Amino acid sequence: MRLLGRYQGRNGEIEIVECSWDGTRVYFEEGVRQSQATPDGESVFTYVKLMDELLSRSANILVLGCGGGNLATRLARLGKQLTIVDNNPISFVIAQKFFGLPDDLACMVSDFRKFIYQDDALYDGIAIDVGGPGFRFADEFDAETCDAIRARLKPGGRIVMNTLVMNDFDATPDRIAARLAGDALHAWIVDEQGIEDRNAIIACLPEKRLNAWPELHNVMSGTQERWSIRRGRLRGRDLASGPRSR
């Protein structure tokens, strides 16, 4: 690997390295790989490609979280109108310099929760890809925050979120999905069951059927990974007594 840059971000040291065997670039934050993509921003991660497809029916998208900017870069190339929010301003610089993020996008420096509560615009798609060292999804996406995120949707809009799952018994994605979906949307989980410490996609959509989405299956079948689609196991009413840790 070849070191391309080292930066101090709000959550710790960020290193950008280039892989000698394939030319892809990796965004490390405090030693944790957050992004990996070609120099023009094409992600190697299947979860990013799944999020792309799940957001393909949206035109005006709020992107919460930048990092290497791979998701935003792809959506911009598909002609989407984007507003990108990240509390780490150096992420925008890195994404533009090393990963092909267009420099004419609306990039807002803010904590995603603060932005959601202050913003009064409506979007037909919201993409969420936040995290980093010490980030606790269950705490950050409480019921009040999820209600505020859903309130930024136009009728017929959708929310697509990347989260981390410890194991098959981790109920965090189902709880967050139920909070984000409320009574208006259908909650789905796109996941690789059986793998510990994995990415999973929460999709809160107006569509009642997701298994019949052929383009989504094309993404899943184009990899050796074992992605599958299931419905969220909880609804908002199931959370009335409050979340419990497992």
As a whole number, the mean pLDDT across the chain is: 90
> 94-153 pLDDT, tens per residue?
999 999 999 999 999 999 999 999 999 999 999 999 987 778 898 999 999 999 999 999
Distance from the first to the final alpha carbon of the chain: 39
CA torsion 135-13-64-55 (nearest 10°) is -100
Percent of the chain with pLDDT over 70: 95
175-184 tens-digit pLDDT: 999 999 999 9
Q: How far is CA 171 from CA 137, 197, 217, 242, in A?
A: 11, 13, 24, 13
pLDDT > 50? residue 241: no
Name 204's bridge partners. Answer: 159, 187
Distances (CA, A) of 179 to 2, 23, 35, 112, 233: 42, 40, 27, 17, 12
Question: By percentage, how much of the chain surpasses pLDDT 90?
Answer: 76
**pLDDT at 240 > cutoff 60:** no
Q: Bigger pLDDT: 10 or 2?
A: 2
Residue range 9-26: mean pLDDT, rounded: 92
Domain 46-239 has CATH 3.40.50.150: yes
- Does the pLDDT value for residue 242 go beyond 70? no
- Identify the band that residue 244 occupies on the pLDDT scale cut at 50, 70 and 90: very low
Structural domain boundaries of the chain?
46-239
**Residue 5: predicted pLDDT:** 93
Q: Contact, 63 vs 84, CB < 8 A?
A: yes
Mean pLDDT within 61-86: 94
Q: Give mean pLDDT, residues 190-205.
A: 93
| CA 22 – CA 19 distance, rounded (Å) | 6
3-state DSSP assignment of residue 168: coil
| Mean pLDDT confidence for 193-199 | 91
pLDDT attached to residue 243: 45
Report the pLDDT averaged over residues 59-84: 94
pLDDT band at 239 (very low <50, low <70, confident <90, very high): low
114 exposure class (CB count in 10 Å sphere: 0-12, 13-18, 19+): exposed
What is the pLDDT, as a whole number, of residue 46? 93
Give the pLDDT of residue 154.
96
Higher pLDDT, residue 138 or 59: 59
